[in-house]
Amino acid sequence: MTPLSPLIARGHQLAEVLRRHPGSVAVFGFVSGLASFFLIERHRGSVRVIALLLLASWVWLVLERLLRTRLKRRFGIALPQVLLNYAMQLIHQESLFFTLPFFIVSTAWNTTQAAFTALLVIAALIAITDPLYYHRLAPRRWLYLAYHSLTLFAVLLVALPLIVHLPTARSYSIALVSAALLSFPSLAATVPRQLPRRGLAVAALLTLLATCGWFARSAVPPATLWLGRGAISLELDQASREPGPAVRRLSVAQLRDKGVYAFTAINAPLGLSEQVFHHWIHNGTIVDSIDLEILGGREAGYRAWTHKTHFPDTPAGRWEVRVVTAGGQLIGTLRFRVTDEAAPTKR
């Protein structure tokens, strides 16, 4: 008997319990996901601990086959497959329910970001629905690995800014490369073995996937950055860092008088330093781009603003101020209209 034998025996007992009560894993994942949401709102330091544990579990998941083979060769121990299957499902559940609150709160729902967050919601529902997870997803190896890659991509987008305070653009690059490399087996399975230069074809598909992911980054919410408050105003108290009354419509004369302020309060993790931009857009065309440096950790969000005083010769029309990251991910949008009316209408 090896020192690990009692632990393995308990693993078999746990596997038997899980086999009799399969819904327990789903319930645990859902409840712990909700718990992590409250920790996000109230104890930001605890979120880092959760993120570290999730990343550690992902390392184990990636090395699971290697570790299982080593245990069997060296100690003659065969881990129960059902226990490993439930462990994988639990990691997927924990990962998806942990990241979902971040993506839901940071999604601009009237943009293509809604499609990405909806995809994560569907993935989370699959993770807690055993017939879908075990009978539809798991048997299809290429689809299972694609699902695995998507989940890891979401986890890294959240964990890297929280743990090592990487800017959003750099976190996106690392998450994209990691997910692309993990999807290599899935891509290899789609290329016929008899195809000449099969390796080059797989490499080309991998490069294409990464390139598409990079150019589609505007459709992915910035996860750990979201617009807590925003306002377009003719006034701003710099001492209190608060805008005056918000406006949705203003006249050309008022626009040219003292200009207009775009005020934003952006929530970000503690310790994160992030460069963001205010893109001033007139009738669909960017006319100005002003960069801002924000610091995370403030419960009310980092308050910053831009003050625009120079405008086109004919400034009437639709205006937007898009708040975006250095990598081009949309954080939020402020809208107003300039008309020839004598006075603005306050919201």
Residue 141, classed as helix, strand or coil, is helix
Residue 246, classed as helix, strand or coil, is strand
For residue 231 the two structure tokens come to 């306002």
Looking at residue 344, what DSSP letter applies?
A: P
Residues of the chain with CATH 2.60.40.1930: 226-346
For residue 281 the two structure tokens come to 């857009």
Task: Identify whether the C-beta of residue 267 lies closer than 8 Å to the C-beta of residue 223.
Answer: no
Residue 138 is predicted with a pLDDT of 84
Walk across the sheet containing 273-282 and list its strands.
Answer: 285-295, 273-282, 317-325, 330-339, 247-251, 345-346
What burial letters (b/e) apply to 13-45, b meaning 16+ CB within 10 Å?
A: eebeebeeeeeebbeebbebbeebbebbeeebe
- The one-digit pLDDT tens for each residue of the chain (347 residues) are 455 556 555 655 655 665 566 556 556 656 665 565 555 544 455 556 666 666 676 666 666 666 667 766 776 666 666 666 777 787 788 888 888 888 998 999 999 999 999 999 999 999 888 889 888 988 887 788 788 888 889 988 988 888 888 899 999 999 998 888 877 766 676 677 777 777 788 788 888 888 999 999 999 999 989 999 999 999 999 889 999 999 999 999 999 888 999 999 999 887 789 999 999 999 999 999 999 999 987 877 899 999 999 999 899 999 999 999 999 999 999 999 999 865 545 54
Task: Identify whether the C-beta of residue 206 lies closer than 8 Å to the C-beta of residue 214.
Answer: no
Class level of CATH domain 226-346: mainly beta
Residue 104, classed as helix, strand or coil, is helix
Phi then psi for residue 281, to 5 deg, are: -120, 125
Residue 146 to residue 162: CA distance in whole angstroms: 25
Phi then psi for residue 214, to 5 deg, are: -70, -45
- pLDDT tens for 86-127 read 777 877 888 888 888 889 989 999 999 999 999 999 999 998
